[in-house]
Amino acid sequence: MYSPQVLITAIFQILLISFSTLLLSSVTLAKEPISAMDVFKIAYASNPVISADGKTIAFHRYSMDVMTDQRKNDLWVIDAGGKKLRQISKGFDAVGAAAFTQSGDAIAFVAFKGDTSHIYVQQLNSSKRSELGEDLSGPANLAFSPDGKWLAFTMPVAYKPETMGTIPSPPEGAEWAEPIVVETRSQFRVDGGGYLPFSRHQVFLIPTQGGAAQQLTQGQQDHNSAIEWLPDSSGLLLSINFKNNVNKPWDTDIVRLDLKTRQLSAFTTQSGPDSAPKISPDGKRIAWIGHKDKPSIYHEYQLYTAKLDGSDIRELTTDHDLSVIDFAWHPDNQQHYIQYEDRGQNVLALLAADGSVSVLTDKLSGWELDQPYVQGQFSASAGVAAVTLGDTITPTELGVVDRQGRVQMITDFNRSLHDSVQLATVEEHIVKSSVDQREIQYWVMRPPNFDVNKSYPMMLQIHGGPWAAYGPQFAANNQLYAAAGYVVVYGNPRGSTGYGADFAHTIDFNFPNRDYDDLMDMVDATVAMGFVDKERLYVFGGSGGGTLTAWIVGKTDRFRAAVAVNPVINWTSLALTSDLDKLITNYWFTDLPWENPMDYWSYSPLSLVGNVTTPTMLMTGEEDWRTPIWEAEQYFNALQIEGVDTALVRVPGASHQIEYRPSQLLAKVNAILAWFERYSKPPKAPKGQ
């Protein structure tokens, strides 16, 4: 028997231990709202590729390197059951395309180090690694032949540009200017790449046992396409702009490249993009996605199949009001995995032989770090699908849909983020459009530690595209805005994708216009909830959202301040200088700018600048060739002329994806917060009033 004193002492010790454990637990669980440096804790999975037997998944793991201020990526592999996670590449600046051998026992990948690039083949059951080819430059689109003898890939090959006149040779040791450049190409500059080199992607073969690479294609045709082998390894399928129509740059066709003759022949001929050819598991049919050309930039992509000789073409998805983003054959040779958008979600489903669609998961998530765009990726084989999964508080992880349709997340790269940071959650809402009673879906993000009895400032965030969509996806910038004490509202006005063809096409030749009313309906509905200060409303958006922001401040003065990020301000100047110039002039408007200049002007926010009183900041990357910086400069100068408070933020080195580097994301967020804070108090009334 124990004495009372011993029992009391024991009980006291137990209580002390319990209290200490509870105290430590509460300290461990205490989390702070996200801060700027927490962005460097974020990691995400991208570009999944599954082996032919469905047992192994390769993917890229991206992380934020605080010392180099870069998104770093490496190649990893993991068993489909979530075991044996291991890193394949290490010590490279970046890794690119990856492809499994047919047996699945090795993987080829592209690795970049400085100005050099390599193709390595890594054995998965040993440390053995070999290199294929020498003096390669930017290889991509790797694909092993079914017989295992060859690896096909694409790679740019330089050619001599046209010259115009000659000048004398400089004396030895002289330092003369760079020579002039003569352009005759239909596209000579691209966003994210700047002025293009004088090269064209060609198709190459290299023996898997080693040897020199053989160039299969020649000439000015660009062959930058995913590669699909024919079942007997006698040829390749590609998707290229075979017709070479300068005014239809997206009019691609499936072509067959015969390895013996090295001749290209068209497999599809319809006007419109046909792409992503894939052979059925039994080798009897080809499937691809495409659509017939129509006078609109946005189209619904359909899934087609045909026999290998091009006969018996079938359209499999025309009875469904959706647009196929990607697809894969099911091992039964009848069904197909299809990916599409649906009401703010990115969906993976099975399309049955009878045309019925069964959703496998609607939680696909993409690589976008800055904004909550609806995105996602998948790769399927042998009845197993590797998917990228995420939600509003989970940056993209790798997941699996098994043969029974069960969905499982198999990586946890963001554990440190979740353990230390309190993230804001998102609520879905619906409002009826005041224009025509269409349902408009939107989301409200409340600040951490939200108090329903308080009144909060509100930001309206507008997506770009405009044929795109936001959804319940992780967005670092929105988390930072919420942590700063703002209610963040974002949604999908008319023209957004994932709501059917009619909804998307309501803005054909009519942007911006009634989408403005849909956005105001979101604002009104949120203010009516009772926790938003209607005197502290702010608006911002990027690209098409920047265009709508500039349009909004020309229509209303209800917002205290605004930020237009990489906007279109003048459709005529945009149409003739953007890297999408031919698409805009041929599809965005019914006429060319010199044929009907008032049509372009009537949709240009610059036409409304005389109405603007809202302090409006502009922000654009200095190397943005999608909506070049002179669009923002026009508006900045016009606002100054009109006496409106304004600022122009130039982001050195940035393209249209203005926040690609982590510090650029933070600079963007903090500049927007600083601009809004500058106008957080009501303006003082003039003296005498």
Per-residue confidence (pLDDT) for residue 29, from 0 to 100: 53
Q: Distance between CA 401 and CA 395 in Å, rounded? A: 19
Q: Is residue 613 part of a domain?
A: yes
Closest CA to 378 of 355, 406, 347: 347
Local mean pLDDT, 10-residue blocks, the chain (689 residues): 40 37 42 94 96 98 95 96 96 94 96 94 95 93 97 97 94 95 93 94 96 94 96 97 87 96 95 96 97 90 96 95 98 98 98 97 89 96 98 96 96 94 95 97 96 96 97 96 98 98 96 97 98 97 98 98 98 96 92 97 98 98 97 98 98 94 96 97 63
Q: What is the CATH number of the domain that holds 545?
A: 3.40.50.1820
Q: Is residue 272 part of a domain?
A: no
Q: Is residue 268 part of a domain?
A: no
Q: Is residue 443 part of a domain?
A: yes
Q: Is residue 266 part of a domain?
A: no
Q: Distance between CA 173 and CA 359 in Å, rounded? A: 69
97, two tokens: 């395309």
Q: At what angle do helices 662-678 and 476-483 cross, to 10 degrees?
A: 40
Per-residue confidence (pLDDT) for residue 19, from 0 to 100: 39
Q: Is residue 508 part of a domain?
A: yes
Q: Is residue 260 part of a domain?
A: no
Q: Distance between CA 583 and CA 297 in Å, rounded? A: 7
- State which residues form the domain around 520: 422-569+604-678
Contact 304, 318 (CB under 8 A): no
Per-residue confidence (pLDDT) for residue 686, from 0 to 100: 53
What is the number of domains present in the chain? Answer: 1
The verdict on whether omega for the bond into residue 512 sits within 30 degrees of 0, i.e. cis, is yes
Q: Is residue 511 part of a domain?
A: yes
DSSP letters spanning 603-644: T-GGGGGGG--S-EEEEEETT--SS-HHHHHHHHHHHHHHT-
